Structure 1
Amino acid sequence: MRTDPVTLEVLRNALQSVAEEMGATLTRTALSPNIKDRRDCSTAIYTPAGDLVAQAEHIPLHLGLMPTVVKKVLEIFPPENLAPGDAVMINDPYVSGSHLPDVCVISPVFAGNRLLAIVANLAHHVDIGGSVPGSMSTSATEIFQEGVRIPPVKICGRGQINVDLLRVLAHNVRTADEFYGDVQAQLSANQVGCRRMQELEQKTGSETLKDCMNEIINYTERRLRTALSGIPDGSYQFTDYLEGDGISGDLIKITACVQIDGGSVKVDFTGTSPQVKGPVNATRGVTLACVFFAVKAVADPELPSSEGIARVVEIITPAGTLVNPCFPAPVAHANINTAQRITDVVLGALAQAVPHRVTAAGTGSMSNFTIGGRDARRRYYSYVETYGGGQGAKFNQDGMDGVHVNMTNTMNTPVEVIEMNYPLRVDRYALITDTGGPGEFRGGTGLAREITVLEDATVSLSTERNIVKPWGMQGGLPGQSSRCFIKIPGGKREEIPGKVTREVPGGTTIILETAGGGGFGKPSGRNPAAVRQDVKNGLVSSTAALEDYGFN
């Protein structure tokens, strides 16, 4: 290495800053509330070979997926076929590893005639075609029903947007205006990244910047191997279940054997259920992202995210299984549900080795709520949102209430934004009492969102932990299950499954209640003052305080 440690740290933070500025550009210029308000997007920087160097603090799942897609794209568009001003677009899960609404835009960065780096961003579009508004049908049986598949194609060549291609794509989605606006925001974000990288190269020189990017990856690898050496060697196995695929309610097994050996880790998903008919199949890219996140979270949460993590972790995903399906299996809800369960399984295995580094199970789903149709002016709209729930408690801390956990950390859409942009009325948005798992440290509470549609619409709900509760640890009790309800005008409130897509008339109210997090430690060990404060805050009822903790 020719870069001294001080220069390395300065440039590492500079690269991180570039990624963050790309993210700020994307969210501030996007048109759809899902990106500009919820920030359902991610940005990152890569070496010319497609190795991750720096990423903004956005969506863990996206950022674990993006190295997969960048490398695949570079196989189709090798550096010698790229030019300044190019941009490649892709959303095909069997290349990118995600689901169809996640559109990735990748741009080369040149210093003169030399490829300096790659910048990329990924954003969840509110509609990408398919059988239902929002492109998130819970009853899809093949990927063709989920929307338009975009192979790696140049959306921009030497600075000129491929208007014909963009027109074809926009013609096949319901919300064309938002599609145009969000694609332009993605291109703008990459343009900012390219300029900042070129400015950085002018200050440091190409060789110094190249050495720095490579050394960041080497540093991550060394640091992770050191952290893993502090985890007891051994083989740790854990199994958990998805609650059906949207077609069938049968439990779907996900199992992993995590082997720690000195400074390396091997995660083997042999024994996991075969791929299923419904849209919860997780591509290998999704599975890799989940494992990388879980290992980093347990071994060294402050570890810089880069290609160095992939060098340390070996992952076995048998083909044709839920965690590595074969085309054309549908995948839309793998990001929402299966990703969270894969993460739970890996964390559950690691908890056997280092229980004080792992939280109890959290809400277990990104809990997707999609409503779409036409408003009073007959314009298509698509409301897309994911909801948090209870975070699992850990050995010295309560779980957080009503937050996203594990593979996502999007923000919520403000009530005012929902009601301004869509023919919807938000009737309730609140934490749910007594949903956090009791324990010495209490699991976080779930939340409820109650929405009334003002015009006929198609609704898709997708959540988990409706049957299999979020598990507690070290004597902590599980969190409460999720629940979903519907009330048709003139009818009674009825409970519905956790995965459902259906058409509803105007005036229908849909209620989503997400699961709480598991508790940590026996409830009898909880500080009485903490119980009293929970009751005061409305997180625990007086009845539960007496029954679960023995306090009046």
Structure 2
Amino acid sequence: MNEWILSQVVGGTLDSVAEEMSAAVTRTARSPIFNEAHDFTTGIFDFSEGSSRLVAQAPGCTLHLYAIVSAVDQLMETFKNDLHPGDILLVNDPYHGGSHSLDWTIVMPVFHGRRPILLPSVRSHMGDNGGPVAGGYNPRSRDIWHDGLRIPPLKLYERGEKRLDVFEMILGNNRLKHWLEGDLDAMIGACKMAAERIDQLLERYGAPSVVQAIDQRIRYTETRVREEIASWPDGVYTAETYADHDFQGNRDIKVRATVTVKGSDLEIDFTGSSPQAAGFINSPLSNTTSFAFVAVSTCCDESIPINEGYMNPVKVTAPLGTVVNPRLPAPCGHATACVGAEIAEAVLLAISQCAPERAGVNAHKLPLAYSNGTYADGRPWVNLNFYGYTGGAGGAFQTDGWGLYPPVMTGVILPSIEMNELQYPSRVLKHEYVPDFTGPGQYRGAPGLEVKIQHLEKSYTSVMMAGVRNTTRGLAGGGDAPSNLVILDDRRTEPLEVRETAFHVGLEPGGIITFHRAGGGGWGDPYARDPERVLEDVRNGLVTASAAETEYGVVIEEESGSLRVNERLTEQLRSQSNIR
């Protein structure tokens, strides 16, 4: 078979296997975080040459895109001289290739002859990971142990035998044992299923041909990515952005990215970022690298296969002891949102200086608020209140912000309200777009939302705000997003407006959490927006006529019961503006 055709066949097969793994986890997992929200990622790695290389990945939680790479590297480095058929490996430690300790990675080496050759893997956000607070997000965390249970590289299965002592230790340190056990089984089952498919692939084409095809596919991706980078002007481009605070009273935590384009090579240097923080926003190197690569990948053609070839042209530098590469034991529990959002944003702001039409707004500044309580039978529950995080996707060249989740979470699925209300003692009272609640631009951000979630039983909620003072930035002259806000109302006392953080606030039955989730930043000069598109937004209730005039320079008037653009006044207003 032709080498190119074989690479497509093998690559497509492995992509399909990764997607089948994803479907298997969704259909067999126990927690709503898996089977409803889809907060996990599946992938396959090559190990034919004694080091791991990403080969295929199913659409999943995008922020896992490359974080899973570091975790697999750490697992294989730890056990490379002690691997046997039937071994299944696990890690969650941020200082061993993890991101935050809620994300667990499982790997099952598939052997050919006496050598491991391919590695199916699953990385998933778990509902709990022990530690001081239910759900794992602890805004009072001061070190890595406050974040929850650290699991260094270990074996869950050894030579096909389940290590019951390890399983019981893990389950005994988790509040949601009734979820965790089923979720681990789902992850393991997906890897076993993938192993069967991989065996069939190796039997059909032979290991040498499969490895050769993988090499070809990785080279193809690298060539495509290098072609993209080479189309950007050589130069050094610097940008910086800020996280509001570290939840310990320290404000305006800086992330600085210097992007150097030299031919088809790209270097991303985070020198100049703030020292590591007291609070739990520190981003371990694997998380920082992942968000940097996510930013780069959003600037490239989506038809490029996701594999190791994406990483080869890019070098990431992050000084040790900074918020983007902390020293142990700095806490990291919130790193996948803050400062992960700022890492991607700084990289995209820098790239927008040399390739503005390729950079879109990566709006991930989440107003994170999660709740916990107990069911009538005494079992605990943790609800991440996913509906409150929707919104925030920014505009990009030739497209408005789209969808409900920001780009780094586009593989996550919004759970159905009906299933949510069956699985939790809660009601979703409101989930609606709000007018004038996004960044204006030639291409505006996705609309912001107001969300109201009511818990019917006694519950406790912790809130971690972001994007209040340092909101999501616009690109290429686009406007920044407005501020997020969360309100806790137990309907008995004065509602609590949370601008920074709230810890374990008790809400009586019937208490309501209100999210004002800002939309994304805009792209391009708002006065360059097509007036007819502004009119359409006004008709759809996304922009008011007043904002159309002040933000876009478009005069909307009513005539014979319908809205229309007053072209003469619009042209006059826009011609008088210095923004044009």
Q: Distance in 2 between matches of 1:268 and 1:524?
A: 34
2:425 to 423, 431, 443: 423
Is 1:264 paired with 2:265?
A: yes
- Counterpart position of 2:573: none
Is 1:81 paired with 2:82?
A: yes
Alignment check: 8 A CA contact 1:132 1:458 kept: no
Shift of 1:323: 0.3
Q: Distance in 2 between matches of 1:50 and 1:454?
A: 48
Q: Distance in 2 between matches of 1:401 and 1:249?
A: 33
Amino acid at match of 1:445: P
For normalisation by structure 1, the TM-score amounts to: 0.96
Shift of 1:371: 0.9
Amino acid at match of 1:403: Y
Q: How does 1:313-332 map to 2 (within 5 A)?
A: 313-332=314-333
Alignment check: 8 A CA contact 2:3 2:213 kept: no
1:413 to 405, 412, 415: 415
Shift of 1:390: 2.7
Q: Distance in 2 between matches of 1:229 and 1:524?
A: 32
Amino acid at match of 1:373: G
Q: How does 1:206-285 map to 2 (within 5 A)?
A: 206-285=207-286
- Counterpart position of 2:484: 482
Alignment check: 8 A CA contact 2:344 2:362 kept: no
- Counterpart position of 2:378: 378
- Counterpart position of 2:8: 9
Amino acid at match of 1:37: E
Amino acid at match of 2:379: R
Amino acid at match of 1:448: E
**After the TM superposition, which of the residue ranges 503-512 and 541-550 deviates more from structure 2?**
541-550
- Counterpart position of 2:118: 117
Q: Distance in 2 between matches of 1:147 and 1:394?
A: 38
- Counterpart position of 1:188: 189
Q: How does 1:29-428 map to 2 (within 5 A)?
A: 29-48=28-47, 49-78=51-80, 80-359=81-360, 361-386=361-386, 387-406=389-408, 408-428=410-430
Alignment check: 8 A CA contact 1:383 1:422 kept: yes
Q: Distance in 1 between matches of 2:318 and 2:149?
A: 27
**After the TM superposition, which of the residue ranges 223-232 and 399-408 deviates more from structure 2?**
399-408
For normalisation by structure 2, the TM-score amounts to: 0.91
Query: Helix, strand or coil for the counterpart of 1:226?
Result: helix
Q: Distance in 2 between matches of 1:114 and 1:363?
A: 43
Query: Helix, strand or coil for the counterpart of 2:527?
Result: helix
**After the TM superposition, which of the residue ranges 395-404 and 149-158 deviates more from structure 2?**
395-404
Q: Deviation digits for residues 456-497 of structure 1, max 9, x if unmatched?
A: 322122342111232223332222211111112322333112
Amino acid at match of 1:533: E
Is 1:537 paired with 2:540?
A: yes
Q: Distance in 2 between matches of 1:3 and 1:190?
A: 30
**After the TM superposition, which of the residue ranges 102-111 and 529-538 deviates more from structure 2?**
529-538
Shift of 1:247: 1.4
Shift of 1:400: 1.4
Q: Deviation digits for residues 87-123 of structure 1, max 9, x if unmatched?
A: 0111111112211111111100012333221111111
Q: Distance in 1 between matches of 2:187 and 2:260?
A: 39
**After the TM superposition, which of the residue ranges 448-457 and 125-134 deviates more from structure 2?**
448-457
Is 1:453 paired with 2:455?
A: yes
Q: Deviation digits for residues 499-548 of structure 1, max 9, x if unmatched?
A: 43223132322112222112223323322322222122221123322332
Shift of 1:283: 0.4
Alignment check: 8 A CA contact 2:352 2:476 kept: no
Query: Helix, strand or coil for the counterpart of 2:508?
Result: coil
2:499 to 477, 497, 519: 497
**After the TM superposition, which of the residue ranges 268-277 and 433-442 deviates more from structure 2?**
433-442
- Counterpart position of 1:513: 516
Q: Distance in 1 between matches of 2:328 and 2:528?
A: 51
Amino acid at match of 1:200: L
CA RMSD of aligned residues (A): 1.7
Alignment check: 8 A CA contact 1:3 1:212 kept: no
Q: Deviation digits for residues 10-39 of structure 1, max 9, x if unmatched?
A: 111111111111111111110000011110
Q: Deviation digits for residues 141-176 of structure 1, max 9, x if unmatched?
A: 111112111111111122222222111211111111
Q: Distance in 2 between matches of 1:192 and 1:463?
A: 40
**After the TM superposition, which of the residue ranges 58-67 and 86-95 deviates more from structure 2?**
58-67
Q: Distance in 1 between matches of 2:43 and 2:96?
A: 18
Amino acid at match of 1:539: L
Structure 2 residue runs of 5 or longer lacking an equivalent are: 557-580
Change (3 A) 1:137 1:329: same
Alignment check: 8 A CA contact 1:451 1:510 kept: yes
Structure 1 residue runs of 5 or longer lacking an equivalent are: none
Q: Deviation digits for residues 322-359 of structure 1, max 9, x if unmatched?
A: 00011111111110221111001000000000111112
Query: Helix, strand or coil for the counterpart of 1:237?
Result: strand
Q: Identical aligned pairs, as a percentage?
A: 33
Q: Deviation digits for residues 215-244 of structure 1, max 9, x if unmatched?
A: 222222222222211110000000000010
Query: Helix, strand or coil for the counterpart of 1:27?
Result: helix
Alignment check: 8 A CA contact 1:423 1:455 kept: yes
Question: Quick check: which has more Rg, 1 or 2?
Answer: 2
Q: Distance in 2 between matches of 1:468 and 1:440?
A: 22
Amino acid at match of 1:172: N
Q: Deviation digits for residues 195-226 of structure 1, max 9, x if unmatched?
A: 11000011101110111122222222222222
Q: Distance in 2 between matches of 1:366 and 1:45?
A: 30
Change (3 A) 1:11 1:476: same
Q: Deviation digits for residues 422-447 of structure 1, max 9, x if unmatched?
A: 22222211222211222222221122
Q: Distance in 2 between matches of 1:523 and 1:153?
A: 53
Q: Distance in 2 between matches of 1:503 and 1:8?
A: 55
Q: Distance in 2 between matches of 1:385 and 1:86?
A: 36
Alignment check: 8 A CA contact 2:73 2:97 kept: no
Alignment check: 8 A CA contact 2:142 2:330 kept: yes
Amino acid at match of 2:527: S
**Paired positions, count:** 549
Amino acid at match of 1:188: G
Amino acid at match of 1:221: E
Q: Distance in 2 between matches of 1:367 and 1:14?
A: 39
